[in-house]
């Protein structure tokens, strides 16, 4: 389908969610949508992982990182195969967080597809603020509890701490007393 963005699953990445990487990897594509279809899991990937393809109808896009010819071009549907054991179902509203790898958008697992109650959910407002403040985790520090409900509170705390250390490196190094 020309109106579909097919995004690969970086199943070998150790983290999944909106706050990954040692000190925060830049978000590449973030949007809300509705799961339209989930196929049965397969064994096509052999022992690597269990693929389960799903289709999400894109509702609203919050961030698009320019990736040359592979940049998101207003496709109405998003397809990936990382839905196995996600707990998600057809009709669920979701917030989707993608990164980029080797010049293409990628999704590092179902932890990057978050079920939301509505398209103006608190998680949507928080990720929008994060994006609008140039992905400054300190700007959404009060939302750690919210992100903890998705299993990403600790990752946000770690990201905030890392950013503080980068901004004030002298404060994080203990001084030796003679």
| pLDDT for res 2 | 73
Beta-strand pair 104-107/8-9: parallel
Residue-wise pLDDT for 128-140, tens only, equals 999 999 999 999 9
Question: Mapping DSSP to helix (H, G, I), strand (E, B) and coil, where does residue 172 land?
Answer: helix
CA distance 128 to 143: 12
| Domain residue spans of the chain | 4-169
pLDDT(177) > 70: no
User: In this structure, are residues 147 and 153 in contact, taking their beta carbons and an 8 Å threshold?
Assistant: yes
| pLDDT for res 46 | 86
45 vs 176: which has the higher pLDDT: 45
Tokens 């057809």, residue?
90
Averaged over 65-74, what is the pLDDT? 95
- Cα 110 to chain centroid distance, Å, stands at 9
CA distance 163 to 109: 25
CATH number of 4-169: 2.40.50
174 confidence band (pLDDT: 50, 70, 90): low
Neighbouring residues of 72: CB distance < 8 A, sequence distance ≥ 6: 5, 29, 61, 64, 105
pTM of this structure: 0.92
Measuring CA to CA, how many Å separate 142 from each of 53, 122, 149, 156, 173? Answer: 35, 12, 13, 10, 26
**Residues 106, 110, 116, 121: what is their CA dihedral angle, to the nearest 10 degrees?**
-50
Question: Mapping DSSP to helix (H, G, I), strand (E, B) and coil, where does residue 137 land?
Answer: helix
Neighbouring residues of 135: CB distance < 8 A, sequence distance ≥ 6: 24, 26, 27
| pLDDT for res 36 | 98
CA distance 25 to 135: 9
9 confidence band (pLDDT: 50, 70, 90): very high
Residue-wise pLDDT for 92-126, tens only, equals 999 999 999 999 999 999 999 999 999 999 999 99
Max Cα-Cα span within the chain: 69
């Amino acid at each position: 389908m020309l109106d579909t963005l097919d995004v690969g699953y970086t199943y070998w990445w150790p983290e999944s969610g909106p706050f990954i990487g040692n000190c925060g990897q830049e978000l590449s594509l973030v949007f809300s949508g509705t799961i339209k279809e989930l196929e049965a899991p397969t064994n096509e990937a052999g022992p690597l992982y269990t693929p389960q393809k799903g289709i999400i109808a894109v509702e609203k896009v919050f961030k698009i990182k320019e990736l040359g010819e592979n940049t998101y071009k207003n496709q109405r549907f998003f397809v990936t195969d990382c839905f196995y054991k996600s707990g998600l179902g057809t009709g669920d509203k979701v917030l989707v967080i993608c990164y980029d790898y080797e010049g293409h958008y990628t999704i590092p697992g179902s932890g990057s597809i978050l079920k939301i109650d509505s398209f103006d959910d608190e998680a949507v407002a928080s990720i929008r603020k994060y994006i609008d403040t140039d992905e400054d985790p300190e700007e959404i520090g009060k939302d750690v509890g919210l992100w903890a409900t998705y299993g990403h509170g600790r990752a946000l705390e770690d990201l905030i701490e890392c950013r503080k250390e980068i901004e004030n490196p002298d404060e994080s190094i203990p001084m030796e007393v003679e």
